[in-house]
Structure 1
Amino acid sequence: MLRWWLIAWTVLSIFCGQVLASENELQLLARSKFVIENPGLSGQQWRWVREHRLLRVAVWLPMSPPYDITTGLNDYGGINADFLGLIAENLNIRIEILRYPSYHDAISALVNGKADLIAQSGKSQYDRHMLLTRPYSINTPVEVENIDSPSYQHKRRIAICPQLSSESILEQFPGGQLVKFPSNRLALEALMFRHLDIFICDVTTTQYLISQSNFSNLSTRPVYPSFIPVGFAFAALPKNKPWIEVINNILEALPDNVSVEIHRRWNGGFPLSLSEQYPVYTPLEHKWIKNHHNIRVAVVDGNSPISWINASDQLHGIMSDLLTALRLRTGFKFEIRPYPNFDSALKAVESGESDLVAGATQKNIWQHNLLTTRTWLYNSWVMVGKKNARVSMHSPRIVALRDQRPTDWLQLHDDGNVISTDTWRTGLLCVMQDKCDIMFAPLLVADDWLSADEFSGLKILGSVDTAPMRFSLGVSQDLYPLVMILNKALINIPPEELHAITSSSASTNEHLVSAKNFFFDHKSLWISLAVILIVLTVLSSGYLIVLQRRLNILKKSKVISDNANEIKSHFIATMSHELRTPVSAIIGLIELVLKRPQDAVENQKRIQAAWQGGQSLLALIGNILDVSRIEAGKLTLYPCRTPLLPLLESIALLFEGVAALKGLTFYLEMDSELKDDVFVDPLRLRQIISNLLGNAIKFTPSGSVTLRAIHHQAEKDNRINLQIDVQDTGKGISPLAQKNLFERFSQGDNKQTGEGSGLGLYICRRLIDMMGGDMVLQSQPRQGTLVTVHLCLPLLPAAIDTLTGHPAQEIICPDNLQVFVVDDNSAGRMLLEHQFMHLGHHPTSFTSAKALLAYLEHHRADLIVTDCNMPEMDGFELATLIHQHYPETRLLGITADARDSTRLAAIAAGMDGCLFKPVTLEQLTDCIQSLTFTNALPTIRLPATLLEGENGRVFLTLQINELEEMLLWLTQNNGINQPELPSRLHRLRGGLQLLGVPDIEALCIRLEQRMTEQGLAELETALTYLRDTLKLSLQGLKTVLHENGDADAS
């Protein structure tokens, strides 16, 4: 097992080594933004930047926070990144960060031209003859030690950061042993656990790591005296000198506050000064610091926010932050000694028990014959009193600290009413208990204490008219060098840092916590929380109930959805079978007709069988559309006067032949009283009876099928109770199968599945329900089936023949119409052309609506037949244009979309009618009979003797030439003013008589008698139509002559 672990570790190590051996591009993550108005670049330098818009910066492992930090997988942040971001922003270039596994790999990348620049460079890079920019960060070195370790003179194990020179360090620590660590963080961890004696690194890195890792037992101090802060810079090889010069200009143009902001962002939260000016101490002062490393500091406990000691005996407050800043600048280790009041603290320094008093004012320090440092804080005196009390300033009762009070003011106003106290808390309680009227306190002390709930009844009454108090540090007269050192350190602290120290005094102060019982002090809070919890409980319960209801609804919806999916799958499976069966039969039969054209008799049977298959396919599609209409609630009945007897006889006649083909006996039993007319939808009634008879014949292998119609007396005289029975001697249906027989896609027994779509009975049941009737099924296995339909239909009186005594007028279908057919489908166009030719019309086909519109500009049409769904311009848009520009032209739509909405849309677009595919000859004839053709010309009846063989071709050619000559003359001349017009009309009438067009001949006679422009226009239109018709006749005659082998016909 151990061997396998070793093999896996080896493979992983090799893989990681290969990954790290190559460069890894990082994403620059800069946080600083600043636009330099004038970077100070010359024209030549700007050209260099424009030509080299990519600056490649090499970085290496391990990273050195806070200068370079990788927080994510591929980002690069830190101080270096912030300065690089400013350079990229102001030069408008892209910076590419390339990370290498080691420093030597990064230098090799510079030498090989894979990188242009490195950051965080100093003396070691300068010694390698590399070019450096001006420093962007001052890397002031500091010593880091463990405060629990002995004095540093005995330290032997030393670690340094890579940027410092080991030779210089070892000179300061004779006999020291240099210990190397992979990273600065590991070195600090070793120091924390006393595996190291001292660590030397730059102050920014040190303070950042101490703060981030919470190394509370580590402290820092400056390194003396030989380390001169040089700073970190960008470095490049001499060949990239232009980059160094350009970056130098950018760094010089950056304001100081930008650099301060960047470093303050990464200083780890310590009150660290980033000023380039570091305290300059004399050799004697350095020696004194070395000999007096530990400084005993006397502070007053409970002096919030100046100083207080917490439960862990740690100093907090302004003095804690100030002493930290002083330690960074001096190297002192401050030993905190708390005292109950300023008098005892000052006496401790005076007697030599402590070296330094912190948090006292300058006057208090002088009163005890102590030396003072520079003032580090000015603050005003204020008066604190009760909020609602009226205080008289003539003789107020005053309370003040014994050793910290506005002495000058009290000397002028003291009349013996001043009470002395040792702590701020005692004095404020004195005011709260009405033992005193006002208390004197510094402004920052009053603000801090009055923020506590305990003293919510007090407020600042006003300021005291005296000089502000000056906070200083007090030192024994025997320690004069300490005063000088502290003064230099205080001067080195920037004003904004002192402001930050004093403004952050609102820290946690245990002295401000009330000693009262917490529950009773916040009884209203607890009651509010209890009410909130009760309300939340009720709301949660209600929400859970709502969620449960929603979950139940979702479960029901899922069941419904699953059922719908199952029905859809069943529908697809059933329809694919029902559609594929007739389609495959039609394709196979037509293929046989194409392969064997010589079998005329058999082909006729095959075409008949294919036609029957198409009819069954059409019926199936009709059933599907009916189901969709039923589900959408849009199935509509169209009742009208219907004679029952002829309807039933026609249905029986049709299915009698179907039954005979299967060898079944068909019986028709009809009541003799069914001779009246009823008000019913004949198509839907036929559909019901046909479905029932079709099922009976389909599932009856032998025996008989009976259609029975019985009349029953209705309760009302104007209605008839009709009972229709369909009975067979077939297989019968089991009781279990009868339960779902009238549902969609439901059939009889499972073994019958595949013998129908299962829609017929469902549609019948819904149609019967819509007619107000009912249907009953009685069946037993092997005993046949009886389906009974009961309908109560309105009875209509006998129709009165208003044309009695007049011969019936025969409806004559107009022929010889000029029909334009538009369809993008070639098969559809061919079918319509042949159908119209069979009906005696002259069709012209077009593949698009645009082609038709262009043709209509020069030709007229009696009828336009268009497909409703076409690319570019559909039939509805075409109908709108035809209705606008050619209102007298009739327009008929053809569509495969059998929805009622499509038919209504066609009528709304201006069509005269809309037929659903497939369109039969009978439907075309009926539709044409219903239309009125105002522009249709009389039918041309050519003499039979003139159309025989070659005579017909010659005759038609002569007549066409004569017509074209007349049309050309009418176009070129104004006929009304031409004297030869009557003779031309007379000559024209001779040919018109032979052609058998008396209407055009009569028009010529009228024009001979009286010339009119309207008459000439009508004549020109009629002659144009006659010419086009004769051309079609001539073309047909030529085709016939060519098929008969008459070579001369061409």
Structure 2
Amino acid sequence: MRKLWELAWPPVRDGDILRAARERMLNIMAITVAVLGGFAGALNFVENIEVYPVQASAGLVIPLSALSIPLIARSPRLVKPAGIALCVALYLLVTGMIGTIGGMYHPAAIYFVGLPVPAAFLIGHRSGLVAALLCCLTMLLLYSVGGPGGLIENPFENDISAYQVGWTTVVLVIITLGVGIAASVFQHELEGAGRALDQARQSANAANRAKSDFLAGMSHEIRTPMNAVLGMAQALEQADIPDAHKRQAETLARSGRLLLRLVNDVLDLSKIEAGKLEIEATRFNLADVAGTVEALYGPAAREKGIGFSIALGEGAREDLIGDPVRISQVLNNLVSNAIKFTAEGEVRVEIDCERAASLPGRDIRITVRDTGIGIAAPDVERLFQPFTQAKPGTARTFGGTGLGLAICRRLCELMSGEIAVDSTPGSGSTFRVRLRVDPADTAAPVLDCGCPSALCDTALRGQRLRVLAADDNLTNRMVLKALLADVTETLVMVEDGQQALDALASGDFDLVLMDSQMPVLDGITATRQLREREAAAGRAPVPVYAVTANVMQTHINEYVSAGMTGVIAKPISREALLEVLGQHTRDAAMPAATRRSA
């Protein structure tokens, strides 16, 4: 029923309001002609089928053929050729029918009046004028050769006088010209407005692409100094320095991570609006995601003196296929907001997974309850609008940009889910999230480093690796050296991909960290050449990780196709580095047969 309604009253598609208006007008005309003309044609068919079978059938086909107009108008590629075919067929049918019976005495002559309308809207505004002139000339010709004693057989001459037919012909000619001119002018205006709309759309798309490119470029440029700020702060946190200085380093790192989160939010929103954000399909476990969130926000909740707990349902303990990074992003945002807006009481998180309505999918159910300030009903919908918060003073009191929940809603939609909130001012809020994922294949490997990052540091000190790092930025090389100097046996720093290839040819390394954008030879090209050398020499490939700020899915696909092992995003996290090194430390210590079976 809904499809029939949309066929009769087309919705606005791709923001093209003018096209929808034209289609709706054509459809109203077509349905009107089909219903009223079909009724008249049916009466004529019953009355004349025995004497004039061909003409009686044509009188029924002509109005019913108007029902093809809604189908023609739906396809832009078919509109013009199908419109020409339809208009020519209708003209020939009407002319042939009344040209053999009655001429202008025949009531079907009124169909000439409507013919300029589909000609103008389906073919073009000039075609409407041509069709109007052609129909007028045809009516005048039929009038001149018809009538009593004329060339056309006329069974209607006893029902209507020649005087009446003459005036009827004049009126029909005037109306046809008026309809043709009106339809042509209206279609001409629509075409002009459509061209202006297309130009505006192209300009908007170009501006949107420019904005996305600018944000991506600025993100890369901001991440480079942020890498130095966060990297050095993490190095100071691990250094043997006075407690006062360590607290200062922790403050520096916390502020840097906040700034990085704002940059990531803006970049995520721009990618979502540009349709470039893709959802990954990776094996993960909700318990791991919940554990990370608890470790991240538990201390913050205790510091505020509020309760914080995460309850996992039985269904949340199975392995799933989805995007754990984006699921964590949604959960982190909701938990962070709950803690931020709760001064006393508790924040409780419930996570479960159940069979979806369409098997074999799974629906992740996340509920975040807090006893915070709550939200008034009129302000609830504003929460999910970009750069908007519940009240104007919220940003001054609690901070934030108003991007988090807007991104959460978009991410939920991308994962075939939804987000909703129930809230009472002064009594707290409850956010409910549903996300669609798939069950994991039991034969698929679990993509995990296998140990908590806190333990990787200890494991690495027992067996250190020989690491080669290539980055053209001096600050980035200093950060890598500060983060890895005490957990690697050998750390060689080079400035471009060619120097990395030279170092690999003359030395033996367990791991390579490669920036993607470097002069002389970029990291992607260097990795391709390295893989070619290894294949030619019959050597096992050395693990190569892209250390880069460009971590969009298109970039990651390019790294993988070049032969890179994985990606470490900038700003560099010490934990991420330790997990990568810890993984390869265990692989190096594992017997070959065990590694193959794993």
Partner of 1:624: 266
The Cα offsets for residues 413-467 of structure 1, whole Å up to 9 and x where unpaired, read as: xxxxxxxxxxxxxxxxxxxxxxxxxxxxxxxxxxxxxxxxxxxxxxxxxxxxxxx
Q: 1:634 to 1:851 in 2, by over 3 A?
A: closer
Distance across 1 between alignment mates of 2:577 and 2:439: 33
Q: 1:551 to 1:703 in 2, by over 3 A?
A: same
The 3-state SS of whatever aligns with 1:750 is coil
Partner of 1:603: 245
- From 305, 314, 324, the equivalent of 1:663 is 305
How does 1:257-656 map onto structure 2 within 5 Å? 542=184, 545-551=187-193, 554=196, 600-645=242-287, 647-656=289-298
Letter aligned with residue 727 of structure 1: R
How does 1:693-842 map onto structure 2 within 5 Å? 693-709=335-351, 722-753=364-395, 755-791=399-435, 815-842=463-490
Distance across 2 between alignment mates of 1:655 and 1:545: 61
Matched, 1:914 2:567: yes
The 3-state SS of whatever aligns with 2:551 is coil
In the TM superposition, what is the alpha-carbon distance from 1:725 to its structure 2 partner?
A: 1.9
Q: Please identify the structure whose Cα radius of gyration is greater.
A: 1
Q: 1:644 to 1:799 in 2, by over 3 A?
A: farther
Question: Is 1:819–1:861's contact at 8 Å kept on the other side of the alignment?
Answer: yes
The 3-state SS of whatever aligns with 1:756 is coil
In the TM superposition, what is the alpha-carbon distance from 1:694 to its structure 2 partner?
A: 0.9
Matched, 1:871 2:513: no
The 3-state SS of whatever aligns with 1:841 is strand
**Taking structure 2 as the reference length, what is the TM-score of the superposition?**
0.52
Question: Is 2:465–2:585's contact at 8 Å kept on the other side of the alignment?
Answer: no
Question: Is 1:732–1:783's contact at 8 Å kept on the other side of the alignment?
Answer: yes
Distance across 2 between alignment mates of 1:711 and 1:912: 31
In the TM superposition, what is the alpha-carbon distance from 1:643 to its structure 2 partner?
A: 4.0
In the TM superposition, what is the alpha-carbon distance from 1:859 to its structure 2 partner?
A: 4.3
Gapped runs of 5+ residues in structure 2? 1-175, 446-454, 590-598
Distance across 1 between alignment mates of 2:436 and 2:499: 55
Q: 1:557 to 1:742 in 2, by over 3 A?
A: farther
How many equivalent pairs are there?
Answer: 384
Distance across 1 between alignment mates of 2:369 and 2:558: 43
The 3-state SS of whatever aligns with 2:265 is helix
Q: 1:563 to 1:740 in 2, by over 3 A?
A: farther
Q: 1:730 to 1:539 in 2, by over 3 A?
A: same
Question: Is 1:652–1:707's contact at 8 Å kept on the other side of the alignment?
Answer: no
In the TM superposition, what is the alpha-carbon distance from 1:664 to its structure 2 partner?
A: 2.4
Distance across 2 between alignment mates of 1:624 and 1:785: 25
Q: 1:599 to 1:859 in 2, by over 3 A?
A: closer
Distance across 1 between alignment mates of 2:325 and 2:265: 13
**Percent of aligned pairs with the same amino acid:** 26
Query: Which structure has greater helix proportion?
Result: 2
Q: Answer 1 or 2: higher relative contact order, Cα 8 Å, separation at least 6.
A: 2
In the TM superposition, what is the alpha-carbon distance from 1:701 to its structure 2 partner?
A: 3.5
Q: 1:854 to 1:739 in 2, by over 3 A?
A: closer
The Cα offsets for residues 807-844 of structure 1, whole Å up to 9 and x where unpaired, read as: xxx99879554433222211111222333332223112
Distance across 1 between alignment mates of 2:206 and 2:423: 30
Question: Is 1:821–1:833's contact at 8 Å kept on the other side of the alignment?
Answer: no
In the TM superposition, what is the alpha-carbon distance from 1:750 to its structure 2 partner?
A: 1.5
Distance across 1 between alignment mates of 2:503 and 2:293: 47
Q: 1:823 to 1:649 in 2, by over 3 A?
A: closer
The 3-state SS of whatever aligns with 2:253 is helix
The Cα offsets for residues 771-820 of structure 1, whole Å up to 9 and x where unpaired, read as: 3332221223333222112346556698999xxxxxxxx99879554433
Letter aligned with residue 432 of structure 2: T
Letter aligned with residue 385 of structure 2: E
In the TM superposition, what is the alpha-carbon distance from 1:931 to its structure 2 partner?
A: 5.8
Q: 1:702 to 1:549 in 2, by over 3 A?
A: farther
Q: 1:560 to 1:866 in 2, by over 3 A?
A: closer
In the TM superposition, what is the alpha-carbon distance from 1:696 to its structure 2 partner?
A: 1.4
Distance across 1 between alignment mates of 2:569 and 2:441: 34
Question: Is 1:818–1:863's contact at 8 Å kept on the other side of the alignment?
Answer: yes
The Cα offsets for residues 849-884 of structure 1, whole Å up to 9 and x where unpaired, read as: 444455566545444333211223322232233333
Gapped runs of 5+ residues in structure 1? 1-533, 802-809, 939-1050
Question: Is 2:231–2:574's contact at 8 Å kept on the other side of the alignment?
Answer: no
Letter aligned with residue 784 of structure 1: G
The Cα offsets for residues 677-718 of structure 1, whole Å up to 9 and x where unpaired, read as: 444433332222211111112223444322234677876896
Q: 1:559 to 1:729 in 2, by over 3 A?
A: farther
Distance across 1 between alignment mates of 2:569 and 2:341: 31
The 3-state SS of whatever aligns with 1:758 is coil
The Cα offsets for residues 523-555 of structure 1, whole Å up to 9 and x where unpaired, read as: xxxxxxxxxxx99x9789836742454336637
Distance across 2 between alignment mates of 1:677 and 1:751: 43
Question: Is 2:322–2:437's contact at 8 Å kept on the other side of the alignment?
Answer: yes
Question: Is 1:642–1:678's contact at 8 Å kept on the other side of the alignment?
Answer: yes
Question: Is 1:590–1:610's contact at 8 Å kept on the other side of the alignment?
Answer: no
Q: 1:692 to 1:564 in 2, by over 3 A?
A: farther
Question: Is 1:625–1:898's contact at 8 Å kept on the other side of the alignment?
Answer: no
Question: Is 2:465–2:581's contact at 8 Å kept on the other side of the alignment?
Answer: no
Distance across 1 between alignment mates of 2:507 and 2:230: 43
In the TM superposition, what is the alpha-carbon distance from 1:726 to its structure 2 partner?
A: 1.4
In the TM superposition, what is the alpha-carbon distance from 1:609 to its structure 2 partner?
A: 1.8
Distance across 1 between alignment mates of 2:470 and 2:484: 13
Matched, 1:895 2:543: no
Distance across 1 between alignment mates of 2:321 and 2:493: 43
The Cα offsets for residues 8-54 of structure 1, whole Å up to 9 and x where unpaired, read as: xxxxxxxxxxxxxxxxxxxxxxxxxxxxxxxxxxxxxxxxxxxxxxx
In the TM superposition, what is the alpha-carbon distance from 1:605 to its structure 2 partner?
A: 0.8
Question: Is 2:516–2:523's contact at 8 Å kept on the other side of the alignment?
Answer: yes
**Taking structure 1 as the reference length, what is the TM-score of the superposition?**
0.31
Q: 1:892 to 1:773 in 2, by over 3 A?
A: closer
Q: 1:870 to 1:587 in 2, by over 3 A?
A: closer
Letter aligned with residue 252 of structure 2: A
Q: 1:893 to 1:707 in 2, by over 3 A?
A: closer
Q: 1:545 to 1:690 in 2, by over 3 A?
A: same
The 3-state SS of whatever aligns with 1:787 is strand
